[in-house]
Structure 1
Amino acid sequence: MRTAVALSAWAPLRRPTFRALWIAQFGANTGTWVQTVGAQWLMGDLGGRALQIALVQTAMTLPVFLLVVPAGALGDIVDRRRLLLCGQTAMFVGSGALAVLTAERVTTPALLLGLTALMGIGDALCVPSFQAIQPELVSRAEIPQAALLNGANANVARAVGPALGGALIALIGPAVTFAFNTLSFLGVLLVLYQWRRPTDHHPLGPEHVLGATRAGARYIRSAPRFAAVLARSMLFMLFASGLWALLPALARGPLALAADAYGLLLASVGAGAVVGIVVVPRLRDQLGSATLSTAGMVVFAGAMFVIGVVESVPAVVTALVVVGLAWIGVQSTLNAVAQILLPAWTRARALAYYQLVFMGGQALGAVGWGVLADAAGLRTAFVAPALGMLVGALVSVRALPLPKVRPDLKTVHYWPEPTGRSRLSSGAGPVLIIVEWRVDEANASLFVAAMQHLERSRRRTGATLWGLFQDTEEPTLFVETFIVATWHEHLRQHVERATALDRELEEIARKLTIDGQPAQVRHAVWAESVIRVRSNPR
């Protein structure tokens, strides 16, 4: 385990590919916010009520919620650069079609939501892979800074995009916002096309999508520290989504603002994010990730309460600056911790679950707070999630701890080559692995405790069932068993998935054995699968 090293917040920008992609993404993020203002304002012009305006956000985020997990699996088994190109192209097409239809004045609420959903599908293909390539673009020590810069990128774009979108609507109309967004994708497409990404190395060949998806879910179930990050993100997004979904209705209603003034409201959030570039790294060094995440939720909740209760534009603008600072503090911190906790082999598919709770909380929360706004009024729809976030912050303090050190997750080969490999087909299985440990009775309780941590390691890398037994006749003999779906999947444990952390956990157990002797390992394959293969040779 290694502790974090303090670096300049700007350090990742020294990396040429990261810098080029960061600049291109700023253009795309700005275009997205220009279109967001245009789509929400157009829905209002088309007669949409608060719920329909909120559904614009849902149309963009719900496809991500539904598709991001298989997209994450794809990101781990196909070339991530090509997958990103496909997703960006889909978003380019959706935005372009919306620009043309709106210019021709034939856009309907259904078309607006449908084409926005197409862009959401493209976004679903991109989100986990964009997250997963960050460790390929910067050093491991620079990941927190890269996450902060990426968060700032999106939020500075939030400062520029909405104001620009509001101005474009006021001067020309909503159609130009969609055209601007269409052009903004070209920069990202160009950088991705020119990026010469090293070829992925899969010693045992690429996984199938379904199997890779299962492996990702299995990893998440056996990674409690990563699960804590997911839970914190869900608590935050479920309640924070009310602000983003209902701010347009607040601007058009109680605040009585025009489109350009609404854009300036969102620009205030971006201004807070700019402040966060300087403030957040210092706060993270002083408070730690867990405390900073919790404090950010409390500050966000307080600002959201002010926005919903005080019908004063200066007060709302000030509160939105605070929102931007709290938003980037929470999101960049959780995102950095998520990336640090994941090994390369499962990074995209596991980060897909991070995006699942992020987008899912945003999509489902937007619908829920939209319904509440229609039923009980905007003030209630702002106050209720603010109070909910305060409760979530209190829960996270004790129930959802974040790690204070960075685990060593580089791939290592520390298991000996399994015998009988050449006689079995890759699909033979299930495979039973039997590990015999010799442990002095004085160390038995410590050994059992160590094996509970090793159980998670086995399950993270591929085990579906696990057990530890003590021999009744020889109390010093402990028998560990675990089952892997196929022989090929077990070979992936040997060759592709084991990390230095897994080796460390096994070493802790081994030191408790008699004279530190290594465990004895045997492999057994489901007999019918072996007989079937031998009866039907290729």
Structure 2
Amino acid sequence: MSNPSTSVPRSPAAAAPAATARRKVPLTRPLRHKRYRNIWLANMVSNLGTWIQTFASAWLVASMTQSASITSMVQTATYVPVFLFALLAGVVADAVHRPKFLFFCNLYLALCATAMALLVTTGLVSSNAVLAITFCLGIGTAFVWPAWQAAMSGLVDPDEVEAAATLNNLSYNLSAIIGPALGGLLFGWIGASALFLANALSFAGLLGVYWAWWQERTPQATVRESFTQRFRLGMRTAFGCARYRRILRNVCSVFFATIAFAGLLPVFVRDVLHKQSSTYGLLMGCLGGGAVIAAFFLPQVRARVDKTGVLVGALLVYGLMLVTMASTRSLALLVPLIVCGGMAWSATVSTLNAAAQLSFPAEVRARTLSIYLFVMSGGYVAGSLFWGQVADYWGVQAALGAAGACVLANALILATGNRKYPI
């Protein structure tokens, strides 16, 4: 269908019976909506560029410093802007014409990626410069995420939102397989500059889709409240819901622990495995590969198990992955291990994300999602800084083991309160 769905997700209370029924929605069903399908495909290409840049930035910094904490700051620089600007971005996203807003945000991201490529080409690159431009990219991401998630969930029917969240995760993780593997092969051949330029070019499809949507001049709801009123309403709505507060607590604690994998993997490959960029790309791709596999059986699992049960199982698998990584150097074991971790990661992210998207009606969705992103990025920022310091003092394997123990503790706490406090 060419126009966004006008269906509005129900309130948490109304959504509960539907969640209890857990009717299976086929994974590909949201793709029947033309606009969702076009954005999903263009976003997959953009995700490929993002993963190439993520790989190149992390390995470039790891090759310029021996410090685990500085290397992990690539993740910090990515998520600090989300933490700083997510709440503002949510208020803005509920008040602007979203296609126009998303067009200019993605144009800004493309220009930042181009600036990174020029910096490397001119030989002026340093770890601080990479972190600075990564921070600038993070600002753009902070403003894109609330508007994009609110727009995407409005393009499908309410009962398709969870399947759409899984599809979005599938798109992201298909790119997570190809991007790091491609980056690992090409980094030493064509250099980081070309990889950053590839990311800049990857935004072309999204810019085209958003431009076409913008030109349709679809009516926009009139915003009568002031910025302060909209902000206060979003905060009251989100924190006034006990279920949403539970989601936010889980998001903060889960992402605090799980960021250890992304933040410390370059150091693990360099210092523990004593391998090069191609191995780093391979292991990053394994996580994405597991997430892709998960996308095809998650609908069947969700038809039989409630959200809390899915999340507990996923956290148990991911925590065991981190704990096992702390005690092995065998690539033959690490590859299937991280694939299993990727399956668990897909279940974790899509479950929490769909629960957040379905919690409130469309008119406040971007604001409430921005609070979700604020809490998520806060967990990421604190975690990347903390685990980097732990790795510097006690070693990367000890940091991964401790992070795994934290994930397992989250699973235990969630399982204990499953009946009384469901997600």
Of 37, 51, 68, the match for 2:55? 37
Query: Is 2:32 the partner of 1:14?
Result: yes
Q: Deviations over 1:463-512 (max 9, x none)?
A: xxxxxxxxxxxxxxxxxxxxxxxxxxxxxxxxxxxxxxxxxxxxxxxxxx
2:329 and 2:73 mapped to 1: Cα distance? 24
Q: Deviations over 1:146-174 (max 9, x none)?
A: 00000111111111110011112021111
Query: Is 2:187 the partner of 1:144?
Result: no
Match of 1:311 in 2: 329
Query: Is 2:384 the partner of 1:366?
Result: yes
Q: TM-score, normalised by structure 2?
A: 0.92
Match of 2:221 in 1: 201
SS of the residue corresponding to residue 24 of structure 1 reads: helix
Match of 1:463 in 2: none
More helix by share: 2
Larger of the two Rg values belongs to structure: 1
SS of the residue corresponding to residue 77 of structure 1 reads: coil
Query: Is 2:402 the partner of 1:356?
Result: no
Q: Does the 8 Å contact 1:87/1:124 carry over to 2?
A: no
**Residues 282/106 of structure 1: CA separation in 2 closer, same or farther (3 Å cut):** same
2:68 and 2:150 mapped to 1: Cα distance? 36
The alignment of Structure 1 onto Structure 2 pairs a total of residues equal to 402
The one-letter code matched in structure 2 to 1:200 is: Q
Q: Does the 8 Å contact 1:297/1:393 carry over to 2?
A: yes
2:92 and 2:136 mapped to 1: Cα distance? 19
1:115 and 1:48 mapped to 2: Cα distance? 21
1:64 and 1:199 mapped to 2: Cα distance? 29
2:385 and 2:84 mapped to 1: Cα distance? 16
2:219 and 2:384 mapped to 1: Cα distance? 40
Match of 1:287 in 2: 305
1:152 and 1:289 mapped to 2: Cα distance? 18
The one-letter code matched in structure 1 to 2:30 is: P
**Residues 347/28 of structure 1: CA separation in 2 closer, same or farther (3 Å cut):** same
Q: TM-score, normalised by structure 1?
A: 0.73
The one-letter code matched in structure 1 to 2:161 is: I
> Counterparts of 1:370-381 in structure 2 under 5 Å?
370-381=388-399
Of 415, 419, 423, the match for 1:397? 415
How far apart are residue 403 of structure 1 and its match?
Answer: 5.4
Q: Deviations over 1:119-143 (max 9, x none)?
A: 1000011001111012321111110
Match of 1:267 in 2: 285
Q: Deviations over 1:275-329 (max 9, x none)?
A: 1111211111111111001111111000111112111111111111011100010
How far apart are residue 48 of structure 1 and its match?
Answer: 4.9
Q: Does the 8 Å contact 2:252/2:376 carry over to 1?
A: yes
Match of 1:184 in 2: 202
1:379 and 1:14 mapped to 2: Cα distance? 46
Of 111, 119, 122, the match for 2:140? 122
How far apart are residue 398 of structure 1 and its match?
Answer: 3.9
1:206 and 1:53 mapped to 2: Cα distance? 46
The one-letter code matched in structure 1 to 2:241 is: A
Unaligned runs of at least 5 residues, structure 1: 405-538
Match of 1:462 in 2: none
Segment of structure 1 superposing worse, 27-36 or 228-237: 228-237
Q: Deviations over 1:93-121 (max 9, x none)?
A: 11100101101111122211111111100
Of 95, 109, 112, the match for 2:113? 95
Q: Does the 8 Å contact 1:35/1:178 carry over to 2?
A: yes
> Counterparts of 1:334-353 in structure 2 under 5 Å?
334-353=352-371
Match of 1:159 in 2: 177
Match of 1:528 in 2: none
1:25 and 1:197 mapped to 2: Cα distance? 22
**Residues 207/398 of structure 1: CA separation in 2 closer, same or farther (3 Å cut):** farther
> Counterparts of 1:411-422 in structure 2 under 5 Å?
none
Q: Does the 8 Å contact 2:105/2:143 carry over to 1?
A: yes
2:248 and 2:303 mapped to 1: Cα distance? 22
**Residues 206/167 of structure 1: CA separation in 2 closer, same or farther (3 Å cut):** farther
SS of the residue corresponding to residue 343 of structure 2 reads: helix
More strand by share: 1
1:173 and 1:162 mapped to 2: Cα distance? 14
2:106 and 2:268 mapped to 1: Cα distance? 32
The one-letter code matched in structure 2 to 1:30 is: L
The one-letter code matched in structure 1 to 2:377 is: M
1:200 and 1:224 mapped to 2: Cα distance? 31
2:151 and 2:45 mapped to 1: Cα distance? 19
2:333 and 2:118 mapped to 1: Cα distance? 39
Q: Does the 8 Å contact 2:251/2:375 carry over to 1?
A: yes
1:185 and 1:119 mapped to 2: Cα distance? 13
Query: Is 2:67 the partner of 1:49?
Result: yes
Segment of structure 1 superposing worse, 251-260 or 240-249: 251-260
How far apart are residue 209 of structure 1 and its match?
Answer: 2.3
Query: Is 2:307 the partner of 1:299?
Result: no
How far apart are residue 194 of structure 1 and its match?
Answer: 0.8
SS of the residue corresponding to residue 201 of structure 1 reads: coil
1:273 and 1:300 mapped to 2: Cα distance? 12
> Counterparts of 1:210-225 in structure 2 under 5 Å?
210-225=228-243
Q: Does the 8 Å contact 2:268/2:397 carry over to 1?
A: no
Unaligned runs of at least 5 residues, structure 2: 1-13
> Counterparts of 1:64-75 in structure 2 under 5 Å?
64-75=82-93
SS of the residue corresponding to residue 326 of structure 2 reads: helix
